[in-house]
Amino acid sequence: MMSRKAWTAWGMGFFLLLTGCQTAYFSAMEKIGYHKRDILVSRVEEARTSQQEAKEQFQTALQKFTELTGFKGGSLEDKYQKLNSEYENSKARAEAVRNRIAAVEDVAEALFAEWKNEIGQYSNAGLRQSSQRKFDETRQHYSRLIAAMKKAESKIPPVLTAFNDQVLYLKHNLNAQAIAALRDELATVETDIGALIRDMESSIREADSFLDAMARE
């Protein structure tokens, strides 16, 4: 069963979907005590989770592809169906990663715009300088985070494109020659997915660092 907070967040998310208005969404959330900073933290957590899930999915897909290239008997149709299923799962995970990163960017832009505007409203110079310093530190940390997330995400389309090629080729060539052709591509697939996973792990570490910094403030 969803908690009250989870239901509230879901309801507000549905409201956002209907209205297409981020400003109205943030305003509504603030009225129930859930500010942009809180939303940013939640969305970074969700983006980190989606990247972890995508990393695991691509690892599984690589394992299935490797197993297929070592095929020595049985139903090639079954092997194709399993590989195609992994491809579809990988596409879904990739879409989730893209959406989560976009959601992080939306709330971050709103938060930093609001924060920058409010810094100019301080009458106390000491408090204004302190807020400016925290703003600069948080913005720099966020810039590293979003850069890492986008770098990792940018590695996904080429992997999916190559994966799709292999699935399509196998679909129309369910024979030993097709397996041999896929075996020739294994090294390239391993290299591409390995690079993707390394960038995903780097992005996840950056998200952990950002969340730790936000928790200390």
* Predicted local distance difference test score (pLDDT) of residue 208: 96
Q: CA 195, CA 154: separation in Å to the nearest integer?
A: 11
Do residues 29 and 39 touch, judged by C-beta distance below 8 A? Answer: yes
Residue 73's pLDDT band (boundaries 50, 70, 90)?
Answer: low
Other Cβ atoms closer than 10 A to 14: 10
Residue 13's pLDDT band (boundaries 50, 70, 90)?
Answer: low
Calculate mean pLDDT across residues 48-63.
Answer: 95
Q: CA 207, CA 100: separation in Å to the nearest integer?
A: 13
* Predicted local distance difference test score (pLDDT) of residue 85: 94
Q: Is 174 left (phi over 0), alpha (psi -120 to 50) or beta?
A: beta
| Assessment of whether the complete model's pTM goes beyond 0.85 | no
Single-letter amino acid code for the residue at 60? T
Least confident stretch, 4-8, 42-46, 130-134, 171-175? 4-8
Least confident stretch, 46-55, 121-130, 162-171? 162-171
Distances (CA, A) of 31 to 27, 34, 36, 106, 150: 6, 7, 11, 19, 32
Least confident stretch, 48-57, 72-81, 105-114, 208-217? 72-81
Residue 69 has pLDDT above 90, yes or no: no
| Exposure of 143 in the CB half-sphere (CA atoms within 13 A) | 7
* Predicted local distance difference test score (pLDDT) of residue 9: 52
Q: CA 125, CA 140: separation in Å to the nearest integer?
A: 22
More confident of the two residues 130 and 30: 130
What's the mean pLDDT when you consider all of the chain?
86
* Predicted local distance difference test score (pLDDT) of residue 6: 46
For 19-42, how does the pLDDT look when each residue is reduced to its tens digit (9 = 90+)? 456 777 888 888 888 889 999 999
Which tokens hold the place of 25?
Answer: 């969404």
Residue 174 has pLDDT above 50, yes or no: yes
* Predicted local distance difference test score (pLDDT) of residue 66: 86
Give which of 69, 41, 63 is closest to 177, Cα–Cα: 69
- Domain positions in the chain are 29-216
| Biggest CA pair distance of the chain | 77
Alpha helices for the chain (secondary structure H):
4-19, 22-31, 36-69, 76-119, 125-154, 156-172, 176-216
Residue 59's pLDDT band (boundaries 50, 70, 90)?
Answer: very high
* Predicted local distance difference test score (pLDDT) of residue 1: 42
| Exposure of 216 in the CB half-sphere (CA atoms within 13 A) | 9
